[in-house]
């Protein structure tokens, strides 16, 4: 842990991750994460406090959360627009249905013009 934080890794790349810590310690990554969660937590706490950096997994999670929040905002806006569209289309349908139910006003015939009867259904 000290070698990684000092940037003097001998076995792994110098990244400050659990994978690099496990490689430096000579143990499997899952053993470190599952059986030694206290060491994992201590490592990330030291990364945060000693290097004033956010650990890589936390940074990635924060980016993912930010992207998901933006996606949710976009979907909410799209949903609201679709709701407004449904309302407008419902009103337009009601107006058109109302117009079909009322017979049109007969146009006065002039001279030899005979008006057509409206179609019956």
Tell me the per-residue pLDDT of 14-66, one tens digit each, with 9 for 90 and over.
Answer: 777 888 888 888 888 888 788 888 888 888 888 888 877 777 778 889 999 99
Residue 80 has pLDDT above 90, yes or no: yes
Dmax (CA) for the chain in angstroms is: 107
What is residue 2's predicted lDDT score, i.e. its pLDDT?
Answer: 81
Of 57, 52, 72, which is closest to residue 5 (Cα–Cα)?
52
Q: Are 9 and 48 found together in one domain?
A: yes
Q: Are 63 and 45 found together in one domain?
A: no
The verdict on residue 88 lying in a domain is yes
Query: What is the rounded CA–CA span in Å between residue 41 and residue 105?
Result: 82
Main-chain dihedrals φ then ψ at residue 89, nearest 5 degrees? -65, -35
Main-chain dihedrals φ then ψ at residue 53, nearest 5 degrees? -120, 155
More confident call, 12 vs 93: 93
Of 114, 91, 115, 88, which is closest to residue 103 (Cα–Cα)?
115
Domain span holding position 63 = 57-98
Q: Are 2 and 45 found together in one domain?
A: yes
- Number of domains comprising the chain: 2
Overall residue count recorded for the chain in this entry: 121
């Amino acid at each position: 842990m000290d070698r990684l934080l000092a940037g003097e890794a001998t076995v792994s790349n110098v990244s400050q991750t659990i994978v690099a810590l496990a490689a430096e310690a000579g143990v499997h990554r899952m053993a470190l994460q599952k059986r030694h969660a206290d060491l994992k937590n201590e490592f990330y706490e030291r990364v945060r406090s000693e290097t004033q950096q956010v650990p890589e997994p936390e940074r990635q999670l924060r980016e993912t959360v930010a992207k998901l929040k933006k996606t949710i905002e976009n979907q909410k806006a799209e949903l609201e627009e679709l709701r407004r569209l449904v309302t407008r289309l419902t009103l337009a349908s009601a107006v058109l249905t109302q117009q079909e139910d009322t017979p049109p006003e007969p146009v006065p015939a002039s001279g030899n013009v005979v008006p057509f009867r409206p179609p019956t259904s």
